[in-house]
Amino acid sequence: MSEPKLSHRACPLCSRDNRDEPASRWSRDEWTIKECPECEFIYLENAPEYEALADDYCWTLTVPQERNRRLQSEPLFSRLSQSWKQVWSRTLPRGKCEWLAQRFCQPGSVVDLGCGSGSLLKKMGDRFVPHGIEIDPHAAALARQVVEPRGGSIVECDVLHGLRQFPEGSMSGVVMKCYLEHETAPADVLRAAERILRPGGHLVIKVPNIGCWNFRMRGKKWCGFRFPDHVNYFTPETLQNMVQNAGFEVARFQWNDHFPLGDNMYLVAQRPESVAVAEPLRRVA
């Protein structure tokens, strides 16, 4: 494998350059985690660039590698943990992201960022025109089969450039399911998502919660640590701060959306109703 290109990241939440700060104890191997002394955001400082994420560190490669690494280092715990996750997932409503999107978004166009093969878009009801952005060509081709018969489209590129292809104010909803923790420029993506939402349109986010009890118990062995494909580690506070800094209002973030017994959290945000839209609204076909 050729040497992957790494980028040096300032704090994604407050933009502080933390290169002179010591590496966090959560770092592993060559991967440097920083805990920002200014805003407490936890992030991977030397993240792979988009091309390396798409090729050398594609999640379809890294997820099975990480599962095997955990199985070998802690065989009993890994099996118990898998069983617990199955029990826990049965106690939650299935497809909470899809449920939140259908509950909060008005009928119209909805875009799923990092949509994979379109499994979430497939579940969106007939009131919605489904769109997606996906960097993996094979997954994008599968997603097209889901959305094109319903008048939707798939943009095949990284999310930040993909979002710029949609007109301002054209979407009723934007969904980020298990996506924002992978994004090297999360604040830029949130601002770009805010631009394409119509005033009052909703954003639905699901990310791992590093404020959960499992992280406190497991520390460095917490299942949310995935090197190098998770580059942002949100607490409920830092997630809310980043979303609000991008111009959103928080529409729903109640106790059971960031319950500390779960490893993930869910937030619904809204583009303010009063926002002035720079261009006339155009519906995306």
184: tokens are 């090297």
Interface region with Zn ion, contact rule CB under 5 A, candidates 39-47, 50-58, 84-92, 251-259: 39-47
Render the burial of 19-35: b for 16+ CB within 10 Å, e for the rest. Answer: eebeebebbeeebbbbb
Which of 57, 233 has the CB closer to Zn ion?
233
Q: What sign does the dihedral 122-263-78-70 (CA atoms) show?
A: positive
Out of 9, 11, 35, 195, point to the residue binding Zn ion (CB under 5 A): 11
Beta partners for residue 205, in sequence order: 176, 267
- Find the binder of Zn ion among 5, 17, 22, 38 (CB under 5 A): 38
Q: Which is nearer to Zn ion, 16 or 96 (CB)?
A: 16
- 63-68's contacts with Cβ under 8 Å and 24+ in sequence apart are 63/226, 66/226
Among 39, 58, 223, 275, binds Zn ion (CB under 5 A): 39
Binding of residue 41 to Zn ion (CB under 5 A): yes
CB of 19 to Zn ion, least distance (A): 13
Task: Provide, rounded to whole angstroms, the least separation between the CB of residue 34 and Zn ion.
Answer: 9
The only residue of 31, 32, 36, 267 in contact with Zn ion, by rule CB under 5 A: 36
Burial (Cβ within 10 Å: 0-12, 13-18, ≥19) of residue 116: buried
13 touches Zn ion (CB under 5 A): yes
Of residues 12 and 224, the one with the C-beta less far from Zn ion: 12
Separation CA 179–CA 159 (nearest Å): 10
- Contacts with Zn ion, residue ranges (CB under 5 A): 11, 13-14, 16, 36, 38-39, 41
